[in-house]
């Protein structure tokens, strides 16, 4: 039976440590979120981020815009936040409503305040092996694996999914940690034969219980990024009950990756405040 990688417990511990570090720093980090439209799931995620800010003594503001806002208007709001010295980090909640050019908005965020790590500049630093801000979900996973004593160096890691926000940065972070990486996606042939060989499988597919026990090698570590809603319940991309019988370690959904993502956002926001207080990066 697999060890459960308890992201909730690890994130709680990191939140406590972060609050102490912020209190001792004398800095006043502040996160600005931008929420466009009225998607209830996005609104819930933004609320959770503000609640986490309160716990770690990070100030926060939310800018709300209607769904029919133009790209230019969102960009203008972001530029104001870039110029505001009181703001350390900016997060534009995704997805944006149809009609708004997501890339233009992401590129409008100052790389120095890009606590989501989505700006091409920060993706470039990450891929070049010298990360500044890394996307919160994959970085949170790296922290969870490190805190759980899971070795990565020289191990075979398979990332299933190649999204900009999760799959690709996950692969880059694992490569930076000297794992041997395979990225699989919807066009991959015979996926199971690849995942079965892996020491670590990261599932970022967006399909409930897609990764089944026959796809996992005995003793492998399985990380589930899925947040699928099935009959009102949150269900991962991994068939948890069956896979836990084969895996060596596994993240649950909920209580695995999700809490680590939010803790990492808080850590990135404090890092942004620290960096801004030292002047521009070299
Ligand atoms: N929507 C779902 N996950 C995320 C995230 O990590 N950052 C932002 N900005 N939007 C999201």
In ligand 1, which atom is closest to the CA atom of 135? 6
Phi then psi dihedrals of residue 222, to 5 deg? -125, 125
Report the CATH fold assignment for 136-258. Rossmann fold (3.40.50)
In ligand 1, which atom is closest to the CA atom of 136? 6
Phi then psi dihedrals of residue 82, to 5 deg? -55, -40
Residues forming the active site:
49, 93, 116
Radius of gyration of the chain (CA): 19
Structure tokens at 82: 């870039």
pTM here is 0.97
All CATH 3.40.50.720 domain ranges of the chain, comma separated, are 136-258
Ligand 1 binding pocket (C-beta < 6 A) is 91-94, 116, 136-137, 165
Structure tokens at 167: 């799959």
What CATH number does domain 26-112 carry, 3.40.50.10860, 3.90.1150.10, 3.40.640.10, 3.20.20.150? 3.40.50.10860
Q: Which residues of the chain have pLDDT under 50?
A: none
Nearest CA, atom 11, ligand 1 = 94
Other CB atoms within 10 Å distance of the CB of residue 14: 21
CA distance 116 to 132: 11
* 169-205 confidence digits (pLDDT tens): 999 999 999 999 999 999 999 999 999 999 999 999 9
Best residue among 91, 100, 164, 225 to mutate for probing ligand 1, ranked by most atoms within 8 Å of CB: 91
* 207-250 confidence digits (pLDDT tens): 999 999 999 999 999 999 999 999 999 999 999 999 999 999 99
Cα(93) to centroid(ligand 1), Å = 5
Residue bearing tokens 């981020």: 49
Cα(125) to centroid(ligand 1), Å = 20
Who's near 34: CB < 8 A, 6+ residues apart? Answer: 62, 63, 65, 74, 77, 78, 81, 90, 91, 92, 93
**In sequence order, what DSSP letters do the residues of 79-112 get, joined into one string?**
HHHHH-TT--EEEE-SSPPTTS-HHHHHHHS-GG
CA distance 265 to 39: 21
Determine the distance from the C-alpha atom of residue 132 to the mean position of all C-alpha atoms in its chain, rounded to a whole number.
14
All CATH 3.40.50.10860 domain ranges of the chain, comma separated, are 26-112
Are the beta carbons of 255 and 8 closer than 8 angstroms? yes
Cα(153) to centroid(ligand 1), Å = 28
Cα(246) to centroid(ligand 1), Å = 31
Q: In what order do the strands lie in the sheet with 89-92?
A: 59-65, 30-36, 89-92
> Any idea what DSSP says for residue 214?
G
């Amino acid at each position: 039976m697999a060890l459960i990688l308890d992201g909730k417990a690890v994130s709680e511990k990191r939140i406590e440590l972060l609050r102490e570090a912020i209190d001792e720093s004398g800095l006043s980090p502040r996160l600005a979120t931008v929420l466009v439209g009225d998607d209830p799931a996005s609104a819930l995620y933004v609320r959770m981020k503000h609640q986490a800010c309160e716990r770690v003594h990070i100030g926060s503001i939310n800018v709300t815009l209607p769904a029919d806002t133009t790209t230019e208007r969102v960009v203008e709001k972001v530029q104001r936040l870039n110029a505001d010295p009181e703001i350390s980090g900016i997060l534009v909640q995704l997805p944006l409503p149809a009609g708004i050019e997501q890339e233009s908005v992401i590129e409008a965020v100052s790389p120095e305040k890009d606590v989501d790590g989505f700006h091409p500049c920060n993706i470039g630093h990450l891929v070049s092996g010298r990360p500044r801000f890394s996307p919160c979900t994959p970085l949170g996973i790296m922290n969870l694996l490190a805190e759980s004593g899971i070795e990565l160096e020289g191990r075979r890691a398979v990332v299933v999914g190649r999204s900009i926000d999760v799959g690709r940065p996950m692969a880059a972070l694992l490569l930076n940690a000297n794992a041997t990486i395979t990225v699989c996606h919807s066009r991959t042939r015979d996926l199971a034969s690849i995942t079965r060989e892996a020491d670590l499988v990261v599932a970022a597919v967006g399909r409930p219980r897609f990764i089944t026990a026959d796809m996992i090698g005995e003793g492998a570590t399985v990380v589930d990024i899925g947040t699928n809603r099935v009959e009102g319940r949150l269900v991962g991309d991994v068939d948890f009950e069956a896979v836990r019988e084969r895996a060596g370690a596994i993240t649950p959904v909920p209580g695995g990756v999700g809490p680590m993502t939010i803790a990492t956002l808080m850590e990135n926001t404090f890092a942004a405040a620290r960096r801004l207080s030292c002047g521009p990066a070299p």
